[in-house]
Every structure is written in C-alpha cells, then in structure tokens.
Amino acid sequence: MITLKNKITGSPTLIRVVPFVIFLLLTFCQGKFGEASRYWVYLGKTIAGVAMIWAIRPYIAEMRWKFSWEAVVVGVAVFVMWVGIDPFYPHFGKSESGWNPHQQFGADSTLAWIFIVGRLLGSTFVVPPLEEVFYRSFVYRYIVKQDIETIPIGQFNWTAFLVTSIIFGSAHHEWLAGIFCGFAYQWLVCHKKRLGDAMTAHAITNFLLGLWIIWKGDWKFW
C-alpha cells in the first residue's frame, strides 16, 4: 500500500514542492488570528520548517550547505543591494509598521526577544534551504523539462534563469530587490554547479538583513 509519505518521498517534484507549500500556507496564517498570531505562527512555522528539512534531507541530494568565497561575496552584496535600493522603487503591499515585537509585547521584553531571535534564526537557517530547493532545484529545472532529474543542477538556460528570478522576486514585497537577488543566487548555482553555495549566500543575506533590522529598528524589512 502506497502511503502519502511514500508518494511524496518517491516523487522528485512533490518532495521539493510540498514542504515549501506548507511553509507558504503557514506564512499566510500569520496575523490571521489576531496581531499576536503574526509572531506565534512565525515561531511555529520555523519549528515546522526545521522538522521538514530534517525529513526531506535524505531525499534531496543537492540540499547540502556549501561554503565558498563566491557565496560570501554574493550574500553580502545582495544584502547591501537590498537595503540600498529600497527607497527608490514602489513595493508590493508593504506595511510601514512592519513586524515589530517590541511594539506588540513591550520594549525589550523577554517575549519580544524570543520572537526576534526566532525570526533571525529562522530566516538564516530554515528559509534558505526551503526556498533554494523550491526555486532553484525545482522551478528552474521544471521550466526546462518536467522530468527535473534529467536536468543537472547548474545547467544554464536563459528562459529558466529569467523566469525563476522574476517569480522569486514577485513573491517578495521588495520585488525588484528580489529579482536581482534571484539573479545572483541562480548565477551561483550555475557557476558552482551545486545548490549549497546559494543556500549559504541566502543565509548570509538574511542574517545581515536581520542584524540591520534589529540594529536600526528598520522593521519594514520583516
């Protein structure tokens, strides 16, 4: 008897898509059950993300962290670009108030810092593998050919390069920065012929952005 788990783990498409969709649905639920749920659901989503990454890791060979100087340069450059161009283009439905646990739970309260640290860790270690697997392992290769396992990681294709980056950017409030970000991470995958460097660059970008937000109180980025 084929179980749901076996169906997912046995499908190169489902194993890359289902965790991302679950993560996306939980993201949609943030703030839908009162303002405080914005923070509690994010924390729960992060924990669920860790569990999903642990569960799918044996089935996705390319989902392995890799460190390189190119990944560091791209990660830092994307962070600088993301913050630097922010005032110069319109955004998709971005709230000016942003995500501010100090405002919700009290300035410098323990609970506020739990959510801040949780988000920093989640955006650094959970979001990159889930998003990179979905966008640059699945979407990019699926555009080239539905049988994604016949397309090597890092094979360059102009259509897939452009379309995947545009889709990635459109999923962010900061859509223009997101598109440039997609170009940079996809270039890393094509250049290094592996996914892990893009995961590392993505993590560095998100970590630096998180530190910027905490330091400057620039909550609109969250």
pTM (2 d.p.):
0.95
* Residue 177, in any domain of the structure: yes
Give SS3 for 33.
coil
CB-based burial of residue 110 (10 Å sphere; 0-12 exposed, 13-18 middle, 19+ buried)? Answer: exposed
Structure tokens at 177: 């920065």
What pLDDT score does 2 carry? 65
Q: Based on DSSP, count helices (H) and strands (E) in the chain, helices before strands.
A: 11, 0
Residue 186 in domain: yes
pLDDT of residue 164: 98
Would residue 188 count as lying in a domain?
yes
| Distance separating the N- and C-terminal Cα atoms of the chain | 44
Beta carbons within 10 angstroms of residue 90's beta carbon: 7
pLDDT at residue 3, as a whole number: 83
51 found inside a domain: no
Work out how many domains the chain is built from and give that number: 1
Report how far residue 110's alpha carbon sits from residue 194's, in angstroms, rounded to the nearest whole number. 40
**Which residue, among 16, 24, 5, has the nearest Cα to 53 in the 3D structure?**
16
Blockwise average pLDDT, block size 10, the chain, 222 residues: 80 97 96 93 97 97 97 98 96 72 93 97 98 98 96 97 98 96 98 98 98 95 93
**Residue 124 within any structural domain of the chain:** yes
Domain-located, residue 130: yes
Q: 101 lies in which domain range?
A: 63-221
Domain-embedded: residue 30: no
Identify whether 217 is part of a domain. Answer: yes
